[in-house]
């Protein structure tokens, strides 16, 4: 689904949708589920345009439509490709990714490791579903679009925008499951004094494919032997944490 305004001399922000609570609804029994992606995305855009300054135009691209708790390496690859594809258009001012909060911190790191373009990428979501009377999704999306359209955001890398907070991707963690300000950051503000520029926000030298590469995380309490480590290596792990 793509919507383009008639003006060609205004900022253009591409919204990549991936599902998540921001477009979800509540079914009888209180379970929050993803809705029809086209209908949900159109409703989201209609609401956005009703409050967005006319000087900013937006378009939407459906990348995924799922609960982000199911996302892993294959989905990270699709989102990295979607963002780089959107930024391949020189007429695009910035990109917004609408994402579930469960694995948002992993996605923003995957995106930021590949983001060499000065144009901003703002990742946002919601703590409350779209049909909740106090849904935070519309305000978060508006903030993310305004940020992505603003030249002041250039050169900052991938940004997380929720609950009126704006955080750089490095060190972002989800700290609360219900508070509007869902994310906090445990890394120092950039630039870091004393570090060379290339180490302040290191970027991968080329495109890394996450899917198809096995990296296992192993807990090693005091007194552990190498049984678990050897099992991971035997299973084909390319790396261990």
Annotated active-site residue in 21, 23, 93, 103: 21
81-90 long-range Cβ contacts below 8 angstroms, 24+ apart: 82/16, 83/16, 83/111, 83/115, 83/121, 84/114, 86/14, 86/16, 86/61, 87/117, 87/119, 89/14
Q: Is 21 a catalytic residue?
A: yes
236 torsion bin: left (phi>0), alpha (psi -120 to 50), beta (else): left
Q: Give the Cα separation of 18 and 23 in Å (integer).
A: 9
As annotated, the active-site residues are 21
């Amino acid at each position: 689904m793509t919507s383009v305004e008639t003006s060609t001399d205004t900022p253009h922000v591409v919204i990549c949708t991936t599902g998540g609570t921001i477009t979800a609804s509540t079914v009888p029994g209180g379970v929050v589920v993803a809705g029809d992606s086209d209908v949900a995305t159109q409703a989201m855009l209609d609401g956005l345009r009703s409050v967005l300054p006319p000087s900013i135009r937006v378009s939407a691209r459906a990348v995924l439509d799922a609960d982000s708790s199911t996302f892993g390496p294959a989905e990270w690859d699709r989102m990295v490709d979607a963002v780089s594809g959107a930024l391949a258009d020189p007429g695009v001012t910035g990109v917004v990714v609408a994402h579930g909060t469960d694995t948002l911190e992993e996605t923003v790191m995957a995106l930021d490791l590949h983001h060499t373009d000065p144009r901003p990428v703002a990742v946002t979501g919601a703590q409350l579903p779209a049909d909740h009377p106090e849904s935070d999704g519309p305000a978060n999306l508006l903030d993310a679009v305004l940020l992505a359209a603003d030249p002041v955001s250039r050169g900052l890398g991938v940004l997380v925008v929720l609950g009126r907070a704006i955080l750089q991707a490095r060190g972002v963690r989800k700290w609360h499951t219900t508070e509007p300000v869902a994310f906090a950051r445990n890394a120092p503000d950039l630039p870091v004094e004393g570090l060379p520029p290339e180490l302040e926000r290191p970027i991968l030298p080329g495109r890394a494919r996450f899917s198809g590469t096995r990296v296992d995380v192993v807990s090693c309490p005091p007194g552990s032997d190498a049984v678990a480590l050897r099992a991971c290596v035997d299973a084909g792990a390319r790396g261990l944490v």
